[in-house]
């Protein structure tokens, strides 16, 4: 049975955890430990009571998540925060979180894998934050109706604001929240963005700047990285893994 510390080292190295600065207050890496042994890996987007209980029910003892338990310390261990930590510790469930490192990764990152799933070739990275490009620019060259159909088939329910090119040559992809990059699209040479969520005023910006904006759900666009990392752990250490879906519509 592999040791937790060995798997954590593998994850830290694979995601380049120590090299990538995350948003203030985010805590990447091992957030909650267990007895030191791992027999089954789980992957989930969020560190919540529901995915925790589901992981326990499936006899998982290490859960890989994108949105971790801890964000802006200190967090009082009261109420639901206490319930979460108590549930983890009473059931020997460790939690490893990887946020921006698992968005930006060129191979197992959410953006790169979403592009691959859509059949788009990544041309370059884009949208820097603290020295790391978080998004990608990919070649497209197909009618936006084809792109829209692919997104709906892959990610489910989606909103489309189509005021840009009918046949965009390139598209930007930034999973999760794309609010911060909408105004930078044209300077990056693209008028089309695939992202997770936007704000109401971005509809006006789409009209005024002639953009195609596809907010496909924060949750839906960020399932790729945790799955890929869990699968690599499984293959490297010879332990099974499962994805825990919560069917979040947002």
Peptide bond into 74 cis (omega under 30): yes
Pairing of strands 41-46, 161-162: unpaired
Tell me the C-alpha distance between 9 and 17, whole Å.
Answer: 10
Main-chain dihedrals φ then ψ at residue 121, nearest 5 degrees: -90, 125
Give yes or no for a contact between 197 and 250, defined as CB atoms under 8 angstroms apart: yes
Helix or strand run (H / E) with residue 102: helix 100-104
Note the pLDDT of residue 179: 92
- Same CATH topology for 4-99+223-242 and 104-220: the answer is yes
Query: Taken in order 85, 87, 91, 97, is the CA torsion positive or negative?
Result: negative
The correct CATH number of 4-99+223-242 out of 2.60.120.260, 3.10.50.40, 3.40.50.1820, 3.40.1390.30 is 3.40.1390.30
Q: Which sequence spans correspond to the domains of the chain?
A: 4-99+223-242, 104-220
Tokens (6 digits) for 213 = 């904006």
Tell me the C-alpha distance between 200 and 70, whole Å.
Answer: 28
Which is nearest to 228 in space by CA: 40, 7, 2, 14?
14
Dihedral, CA of residue 31, residue 35, residue 41 and residue 42, to nearest 10: -50
Per-residue pLDDT of the chain (250 residues; tens, 9 = 90+): 899 999 999 999 999 999 999 998 889 999 999 999 999 999 999 999 999 999 999 999 999 999 999 877 778 889 998 999 999 999 999 999 999 999 999 999 999 999 999 999 999 999 999 999 999 999 998 999 999 999 999 998 678 999 999 999 999 999 999 999 999 999 999 999 999 999 999 999 999 999 999 999 999 999 999 999 999 999 999 999 999 999 899 9
Tell me the C-alpha distance between 172 and 125, whole Å.
Answer: 9
Architecture of domain 104-220: 3-Layer(aba) Sandwich (3.40)
Tell me the C-alpha distance between 43 and 226, whole Å.
Answer: 6
């Amino acid at each position: 049975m592999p040791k937790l510390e060995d798997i954590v080292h593998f994850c830290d190295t694979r995601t380049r955890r120590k090299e990538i600065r995350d948003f203030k207050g985010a805590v990447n890496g091992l957030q909650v430990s267990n007895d030191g042994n791992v027999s089954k890996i789980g992957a989930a987007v969020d560190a919540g009571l529901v995915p925790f209980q589901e992981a326990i029910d499936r006899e998982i003892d290490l859960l890989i998540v994108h949105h971790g338990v801890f964000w802006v310390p200190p967090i009082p261990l009261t109420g639901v925060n206490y319930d979460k930590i108590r549930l983890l510790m009473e059931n020997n469930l460790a939690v490893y979180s990887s946020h921006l490192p698992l968005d930006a990764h060129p191979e197992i990152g959410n953006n790169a894998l979403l592009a691959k799933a859509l059949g788009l070739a990544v041309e370059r990275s884009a949208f820097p934050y603290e020295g790391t490009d978080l998004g990608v620019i990919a070649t497209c060259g197909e009618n936006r109706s084809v792109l829209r159909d692919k997104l709906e088939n892959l990610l489910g329910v989606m909103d489309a604001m189509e005021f840009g090119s009918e046949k965009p040559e390139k598209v930007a992809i930034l999973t999760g929240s794309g609010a911060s990059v909408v105004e930078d699209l044209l300077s990056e040479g693209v008028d089309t963005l695939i992202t997770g969520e936007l704000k109401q005023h971005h509809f006006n910006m789409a009209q005024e700047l002639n953009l195609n904006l596809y907010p496909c759900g924060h949750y839906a666009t960020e399932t790729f990285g945790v799955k890929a990392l869990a699968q690599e752990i499984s293959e490297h250490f010879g332990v099974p893994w499962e994805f825990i879906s919560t069917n979040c519509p947002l």
